[in-house]
Chains A and B, each alone.
Chain A
Amino acid sequence: MNGIARLLTKLGASVTGGIARLGFATRFFVAILRLSGTTFARPQLLLREVYQAGVLSLIIILMSGLFIGMVLALQGYETLVRFGAAESMGMLVALSLVRELGPVVSALLFASRAGSAITAEIGLMKTTEQLAAMEVMAVDPIARVVAPRFWGGVISLPLLAALFSTLGIYGGYLVGVRLIGIDSGAYWGQMSAAVDWKYDILNGVIKSLVFAVAISLIAVFEGYDATPTAEGVSAATTRTVVTSALAILALDFVLTVIMFRGGAG
Chain B
Amino acid sequence: MTLDSVSSLTPAAPAIACETLVELKNVSFGYTKARQILSGINLIVPRGKLVAVMGGSGCGKTTILRLLCGQIKATSGDVLVSGQSVAEMNHEQMYAHRRRLGMLFQFGALFTDQTVFENIAFPMREHTELPEEIIHDLVLMKLNAVGLRGAAKLKPSELSGGMARRVALARTIALDPQIALYDEPFAGLDPISLSVVGQLIRRLNDALGMTSILVTHDIAESLKIVDYIYFVSAGKVVAHGDVEAIKASTDPFVRQFVDGQPDGPVGFHYPAKALAEDFA
Q: Do chains A and B touch in the complex (CB under 8 A)?
A: yes
Chain A residues whose C-beta falls within 8 Å of the C-beta of B71 in the assembled complex: 132, 135-136
B3 is an interface residue with CB less than 8 A from chain A: no
Given known contacts A136-B69, A136-B71, A138-B127, A129 and B98 CB-to-CB distance under 8 angstroms: no
Q: Could you say which of B69, B109, B110 has the most chain A C-beta atoms within 10 Å of its C-beta?
A: B109
Tell me the smallest distance from the CB of B33 to a CB of chain A, in Å: 20
Tell me the smallest distance from the CB of A56 to a CB of chain B, in Å: 14
A144 and B109 contacting across the interface, CB-CB below 8 Å: no
Contact with B along A111-155 (1 / 0, CB 8 A): 000000000010011001110110111110000100000000000
Tell me the smallest distance from the CB of B44 to a CB of chain A, in Å: 22
Number of B residues whose C-beta is below 8 Å from A? 20
B239 is an interface residue with CB less than 8 A from chain A: no
Tell me the smallest distance from the CB of A260 to a CB of chain B, in Å: 42
Chain B residues whose C-beta falls within 8 Å of the C-beta of A138 in the assembled complex: 95-96, 98-99, 126-127
Chain B residues whose C-beta falls within 8 Å of the C-beta of A132 in the assembled complex: 71, 105, 109
A136 and B99 contacting across the interface, CB-CB below 8 Å: no
Name the residue on B nearest A145 (C-beta).
B111
B112 is an interface residue with CB less than 8 A from chain A: yes
- The contact of A129 among B96, B99, B105, B113, by CB within 8 Å, is B105
- In Å, the complex CA distance between A124 and B127 comes to 25
A136 and B101 contacting across the interface, CB-CB below 8 Å: yes
| Subset of 13 A-B contacts with CB under 8 Å | A121-B113, A124-B112, A125-B112, A132-B105, A135-B69, A136-B98, A136-B101, A136-B103, A137-B98, A137-B99, A138-B98, A138-B126, A139-B123
B103 and A128 contacting across the interface, CB-CB below 8 Å: no
B110 and A130 contacting across the interface, CB-CB below 8 Å: yes
Q: Residues on B close to A: CB < 8 A?
A: 69, 71, 95-96, 98-99, 101, 103, 105-107, 109-113, 122-123, 126-127
B101 and A144 contacting across the interface, CB-CB below 8 Å: no
- In Å, the complex CA distance between A144 and B122 comes to 11
B126 and A133 contacting across the interface, CB-CB below 8 Å: no
Chain A residues whose C-beta falls within 8 Å of the C-beta of B106 in the assembled complex: 129
B126 and A137 contacting across the interface, CB-CB below 8 Å: yes
Name the residue on B nearest A38 (C-beta).
B126
A137 and B107 contacting across the interface, CB-CB below 8 Å: no
- In Å, the complex CA distance between A128 and B113 comes to 12
Tell me the smallest distance from the CB of B214 to a CB of chain A, in Å: 16
Chain B residues whose C-beta falls within 8 Å of the C-beta of A121 in the assembled complex: 113
A130 and B98 contacting across the interface, CB-CB below 8 Å: no
A128 and B126 contacting across the interface, CB-CB below 8 Å: no
B95 and A128 contacting across the interface, CB-CB below 8 Å: no
Given known contacts A128-B112, A138-B127, A144-B126, A133 and B98 CB-to-CB distance under 8 angstroms: no
- In Å, the complex CA distance between A121 and B122 comes to 18
Chain B residues whose C-beta falls within 8 Å of the C-beta of A128 in the assembled complex: 107, 109, 112
Q: Could you say which of A124, A130, A133 has the most chain B C-beta atoms within 10 Å of its C-beta?
A: A133
A130 and B126 contacting across the interface, CB-CB below 8 Å: no
B123 and A137 contacting across the interface, CB-CB below 8 Å: yes
Chain B residues whose C-beta falls within 8 Å of the C-beta of A139 in the assembled complex: 122-123, 126-127
Name the residue on B nearest A129 (C-beta).
B109
Other A-B contacts than A125-B111, A130-B112, 14 sampled, CB-CB below 8 A, are A124-B112, A128-B107, A129-B107, A129-B109, A130-B109, A132-B109, A133-B105, A135-B98, A136-B69, A136-B71, A136-B98, A136-B103, A137-B99, A137-B103
